[in-house]
Amino acid sequence: MSCNRCGTCCLETEMPLSKKDIKLLLEKGYNIEFFSRLDDESYFLLRNINGHCVFFDEKNKKCIVYADRPAGCRFYPVIYDESKGIVVDKICPSKKNWSEHKKKSIGKKVIKLIKKIDSEAEQRSSS
């Protein structure tokens, strides 16, 4: 699937970050306070500025850290919906370009990532 660069997925993002995502962005020279926030349940989430992800270039409709974007962004538009399980996000204009096979394949990675991020948040909250 190719991104049509509409930026819809970058609006009001609530993308959780793994330790690996954070480490990569720190290594690229970004300050953790610039790109993330810690929520009440000890999850690190991408920050939003002016209604979009801090890394979204509004003018050019692209991610400025695309090559180093967080894993959840890489797997998008495949997401986990608490009531439906693995789905292709309905807000993505390219959603019809995803086969069931591709969705299932990426979905396995999404589940693995969620478990990892949940575990990391649990460790932070118990520290």
Give residue 2's pLDDT: 64
List the domain boundaries for the chain.
Answer: 8-126
pLDDT tens-digit map of 64-78: 999 999 999 999 999
- pLDDT of the chain along its 127 residues, tens only? 567 778 999 999 999 999 999 999 999 999 999 999 999 999 999 999 999 999 999 999 899 999 999 999 999 999 999 999 999 999 999 888 889 999 999 999 999 999 999 999 999 999 7
Q: Are strands 44-46 and 16-17 parallel, antiparallel or unpaired?
A: antiparallel
Tell me the residue ranges of DSSP E strands in 10-90.
16-17, 36-38, 44-46, 48-49, 52-53, 56-57, 62-63, 78-81, 85-88
